[in-house]
Amino acid sequence: MSDLNKGGWRPEMTEERRDEQGTFTGNRALMLDEALIFEIGDSETTGVDLADFPQVETRLGGMERDRRIGLPGLSEPEAVRHYTRLSRQNYAIDLGLFPLGSCTMKHNPRLNEKIARMKGFADVHPLQPVETVQGALGVINELAVWLIKLTGMHGVAMTPKAGAHGELCGILCIKAALEARGEDRKVILVPESAHGTNPATAAFAGYVTENIPATPDGRVDLEALKARLGPDIAAVMITNPNTCGLFERDMKAISDAVHAAGGYVYCDGANFNAIVGRVRPGDLGVDAMHINLHKTFSTPHGGGGPGSGPVVLSEALSPFGPIPYTERFGDGHITLVEEETAGDRHPHSIGRMTAFHGQMGMYTRALAYVMSHGADGLKQVAEDAVLNANYLLRSLEDVLDAPFGKSGPCMHEALFSDMGMAEGYSTLDIAKGLIDEGYHPMTVYFPLVVHGAMLVEPTETESKAALDEFIGALRSVAIRAKAGDEALKSAPHFAPRRRLDETLAARKPKLVWPQTELAEAAE
């Protein structure tokens, strides 16, 4: 006979706590809800064991912390579970086709992850003596050579941390070049279809922006552009292939005209995947172009970053590139040009764009990627990406309006508008309907030049079967939107959350968990 629990204690939870769908926990089998760390953890719990510390006289100078911070801790089992459960509420390339136009959500090879984690790269300090990091510098240098050759440009600034940072770097180089010429031009021309970072970058660098007019077929209006060129125009920023999914046929003519007017040509290279290995921007007169290693070169997006945005530069702009950068000597030894040597070797540099050498972890991945494909494979990448997009375009244009469907083949993405949907139905409904079908929606409402834009980029890493399944799903949803299917207005139905109230979020911003609630939750 047990002596335990003679008092007959029972937990106080016999009462029904079941939700509409009938579960106590709110879970739906493998779709698991997960509380916040502030609700699970407490400030005394830790998932990290530390060595005992020696007693010393502190040297903190009286600045010891005397208030609690409010950081909850989790044991390791709790932490692994928390983040694993959270992760399962995400869509990802690993789960299926991720047709976000302009984002090039291609497969992220696992070899690259393995290589990036080699201790010789991941466990090296940016300020170690250069003799102790020759292999790391070698990676940067090898990748630089690849990028220069793939783009047919003269130089490359490796350090920018993402596409927008690359844009900034390129625009600063242009500004420096103008300054070196003693000119102070104020305006950068940017088409309306451009990505938001283009005008934002120009403004961040102190420029005013003006629109470049477009032709009805979705390209830059060369004549109108020429008409606007003049001594106040520092540069044009053009995306090629552009965000309508089209190749700018007149790119070379545009470049020539801009150069003739004393300006520079910045090319947004976010869409490089369409042409890598098949067309070199250098052959089109481009002066600067950033490359999103996290797009064309397969480094993972990581739920928002990190990326990497090297900028290739023309001969005219190369002298202004940032420090530090690598230089390889004949004997294979690599040196780093930074403050000490820049004065002699690179006197016109704009300086540092970032503290250290840029995104080493992305360089390893990108270099592994280009080496794996080789020049031949990269050409195939562009071809398959473009083929997949054209196949999608032609498979959908009878049920979705393709405003530039007649403007020539699309490049690596296909653009649709919301024309023809039933009254009250919009691009958003199509997007949310796709979620229920098991897909991440395409890019929506971008570019701005098309009403209810839907920009679909399949990438080359999708099989024909995967495309066909997606086409079927999108056709089905599009037909429902045309027919005014009620259920679509309230989609998604099966996702971890129904449509979220974005207005509320913006009107009453709750950006952090309130301090007091930790104490309560921890009780």
Partner 1 sequence: MRYLPLTQSDRDTMLTQIGAQSIDDLFADVPEAARLTGPIRGLPSHATEMAVERHFSALARQNMAASHHPFFLGCGAYKHHVPASVDHLIQRGEFLTAYTPYQPEIAQGTLQMLFEFQTQVARLFGCDVANASMYDGSTACWEAISMAGRITKRSKAVLSSGLHPHYVSVCETMAHFTNDMLDVAKPDFAGADTQRLIDNIDEETSAVVVQYPDILGRIEDMSAIAAKAHEKGALLIAVVTEPVALGAIKSPGEMGADIVVGEGQSIGVGLQFGGPYVGLFACQKKFVRQMPGRLCGETVDAEGKRGFVLTLSTREQHIRREKATSNICTNSGLCALAFSIHMSLLGERGLCDLATLNHARAVQAAQRLNKVPGVRVVNDTFFNEFTLELSKEARPLVRELADRRILGGVSLGRLYPDVNALQNGLVVAVTEIVTDEDIETFADALEELLS
Residue 5 binds a copy of itself, judged by CB under 8 A: yes
Gap between the Cα atoms of 164 and 141, Å rounded: 22
Total of residues contacting a copy of itself (CB under 8 A): 81
Of 40, 116, 360, 518, the one binding a copy of itself (CB under 8 A) is 40
Of 238 and 246, nearer to partner 1 (C-beta) is 246
Of 440 and 480, nearer to partner 1 (C-beta) is 440
Contact of residue 317 among a copy of itself, partner 1, ligand PLP, none (CB under 5-8 Å per partner type):
none
Of 399 and 513, nearer to partner 1 (C-beta) is 513
232-249 burial by CB neighbour count: b if 16+ within 10 A, else e?
A: bbbbbbbbbbbbbbbbbe
Of 119, 40, 53, 123, residue with least CA distance to 79: 40
Of 102 and 349, nearer to ligand PLP (C-beta) is 102
Pairing of the two strands 187-191 and 208-212 = parallel
Contact of residue 13 among partner 1, ligand PLP, a copy of itself, none (CB under 5-8 Å per partner type):
a copy of itself
Of 290 and 480, nearer to partner 1 (C-beta) is 290
How is 235-263 classified by DSSP, letter by letter?
EEEEESS-TTS---TTHHHHHHHHHHTT-
Contact range with a copy of itself by CB under 8 A, out of 139-147, 264-272, 321-329, 389-397: 389-397
Which residue shows structure tokens 């089998």? 29
Gap between the Cα atoms of 17 and 14, Å rounded: 9
Gap between the Cα atoms of 61 and 193, Å rounded: 56
Which of the residues 78 through 117 are near a copy of itself (CB under 8 A)?
78, 80-81, 84-85, 88-89, 91, 93-96, 106-107, 109-110
State the minimum distance, in angstroms, from the CB of residue 467 to partner 1: 8
Residue 28 binds a copy of itself, judged by CB under 8 A: yes
Residues making up the chain, counted from first to last? 523
Contact range with a copy of itself by CB under 8 A, out of 72-80, 164-172, 312-320, 445-453: 72-80
State the minimum distance, in angstroms, from the CB of residue 225 to partner 1: 17
State the minimum distance, in angstroms, from the CB of residue 387 to a copy of itself: 12
Of 228 and 432, nearer to a copy of itself (C-beta) is 432
Gap between the Cα atoms of 466 and 472, Å rounded: 10
Residues that bind ligand PLP (CB under 6 A): 102-103, 162-164, 195, 197, 239, 243, 268, 270, 292, 307, 309
Strand order in the sheet with 311-313: 155-157, 311-313, 288-290, 264-268, 233-239, 187-191, 208-212
Gap between the Cα atoms of 46 and 201, Å rounded: 43
Residue 30 binds a copy of itself, judged by CB under 8 A: yes
Of 264 and 470, nearer to a copy of itself (C-beta) is 470
State the minimum distance, in angstroms, from the CB of residue 164 to ligand PLP: 3
Of 271, 317, 376, 340, residue with least CA distance to 157: 317
Gap between the Cα atoms of 236 and 210, Å rounded: 9
Which of the residues 424 through 483 are near a copy of itself (CB under 8 A)?
435-439, 461-463, 465-466, 468-469, 471-473, 475-477, 479
